[in-house]
Amino acid sequence: MSMQIKRPKGTQDILPADSQKWKTVEDIVRSAAEQFGFREIRTPVFEETGLYVRSVGDTSDVVTKEMYTVSSKGDSTFTLRPEGTAGVVRAMLENGLMNEGFPQKVYYVISAFRHEKPQAGRLREFHQFGVEMFGAASPYADAEIILLASSILDACGLENVELHINSIGCPECRAKYREALRDYFEPHREELCETCRERLGKNPMRLLDCKSPICKEIALNAPIITDYLCDDCREHFEALKDILDDYGVKFKVDPKIVRGLDYYTRTVFEFISNDIGAQGTVCGGGRYDGLVSELGGQQVPALGFGMGLERLIMTMESCGCEFEAQKTCDLYIAPMGETARRKAALLADAVRREGYSAETDLVGRGLKPQMRYADKIGAKYVCVLGDNELETGEAKLKNMRTGEEKPVVLTEFIRTFADVLLSELFDGDFSEQLGSLLEDLPAADTSDV
């Protein structure tokens, strides 16, 4: 036998036993985003490398060491998307959506690729839910996306996630702050990790984000950005805090939150879980008022966040949150013999056309293994079809939970099956309950029909 090929390091297989967890969170994020008026956007998995260099920034970790870049046969080089925002801004500009009235609100559920050291909560292919809003400069917009993220985490059942917010000001306040940081860290240069020594020259704010314990320790007494904000940036930040208070969203002002990507301005925030270890940032985002013009558009205020779905699911698991139950099979038809098999296949098909789920034997097994299979797939009802049933034209529908059996005439199979399922739904005599339900309904207005 030849050697089996293994999956690439830092990637994951999401198997059927777990995919329901993914479906649960994807349903939650999609419906929350749509409740807030965001619409889905889908962009390519790869983009020209220059897009990320220009937007994410050529001093960011993502661009300096984490990109998966390939050169294709032509002369362009392409990069697998390391994040969602740049591609969305590119698409909005290229398709003229920035001229269609503001605010523009979009969301996406994507996989993203970063060449990082794989560890719990840090993968090379990971998944993000993200939202972006364009054309809204008001702190109400900042509060709105924070509220959206917060209500998603609530809907997932998470209670132990802390919201940290900060303002990193505009380029003007930041220039002064950078100087102050350089002055502070310079005397410690030799103690800093290698990456931070490099950051000191190019982008000293990144030092505050370093995960090395020594750098963290040194950064404890570093100057904080909020002492350097200009009047406009300070007002924006104060207003945001007031609005969050109005919403009852709890937060901590955390001057150490600077975010990894270069394009942020003013508000930055992270939702941090204490339940999943070091990689606890479940959601990160903020305002990036400079990005759209950086990518060739007008000066358009913009903001958004990215939520790491692996980390979200890990947090939910560690908190014992509930996931949607897997849908089980409504009906398993167990045929015995070749004639019955043909009949069973047609019946199963008819049942599915009515919108139910149905399976029948595809392996050619006897009754016992078929019953074990029906049990494994959680079939709600089983109908055994043998020579006897075919001859009399009558079979039994067995409720697998209660063991109760109901007769069914094969020519009226669908109607009987639907009735049986509905009566179980209403837990009693269906027609009686339907009658009283109909009485309660408001009469439909048919005057224009």
Binding site for ligand ATP (CB under 6 A): 83, 114, 116, 121-123, 126, 128, 259-261, 279, 281-284, 306, 308, 310-311
The item of ligand ATP, Mg ion, none sharing an interface with residue 343, based on CB under 5 to 8 Å by kind, is none
Smaller CB separation from ligand ATP, 279 or 416: 279
The minimum distance between CB 151 and ligand ATP, in angstroms, equals 17
The minimum distance between CB 258 and ligand ATP, in angstroms, equals 9
> Distance of CA 374 to CAs 334, 356, 379, 409, Å?
9, 16, 5, 22
The item of ligand ATP, Mg ion, none sharing an interface with residue 281, based on CB under 5 to 8 Å by kind, is ligand ATP
Nearest to 27 by CA among 273, 280, 313, 279: 313
Smaller CB separation from Mg ion, 84 or 335: 84
Calpha distance 350→343 (Å, rounded) = 11
The minimum distance between CB 316 and ligand ATP, in angstroms, equals 13
Smaller CB separation from Mg ion, 135 or 260: 260
Calpha distance 256→187 (Å, rounded) = 20
Q: Determine contact, residues 305/130, Cβ cutoff 8 Å.
A: yes
The item of Mg ion, ligand ATP, none sharing an interface with residue 283, based on CB under 5 to 8 Å by kind, is ligand ATP
**Residue 284: strand, helix, or coil:** strand
The minimum distance between CB 260 and Mg ion, in angstroms, equals 5
Residue found by looking up tokens 């970790």 in the block: 61
Residue nearest to Mg ion (CB): 260
Task: Provide DSSP, 53-92.
Answer: HHHT-TTSHIIIII--EEE-SSS-EEEE-SSSHHHHHHHH
The item of ligand ATP, Mg ion, none sharing an interface with residue 315, based on CB under 5 to 8 Å by kind, is none
Footprint of Mg ion on 252-291 (CB under 5 A): 260
Calpha distance 31→36 (Å, rounded) = 9
The item of ligand ATP, Mg ion, none sharing an interface with residue 47, based on CB under 5 to 8 Å by kind, is none
The minimum distance between CB 153 and ligand ATP, in angstroms, equals 12
Smaller CB separation from ligand ATP, 90 or 127: 127
CB proximity list for 13: less than 8 A, separation 6 or greater: 7
The minimum distance between CB 237 and ligand ATP, in angstroms, equals 20
Smaller CB separation from Mg ion, 62 or 347: 62
Task: Kindly provide the b/e burial profile for residues 256-284, where b requires at least 16 CB atoms within 10 angstroms of the residue's own CB.
Answer: ebbbbbbbbbbbbbbbbbebbeebbbbbb
Footprint of Mg ion on 47-76 (CB under 5 A): none
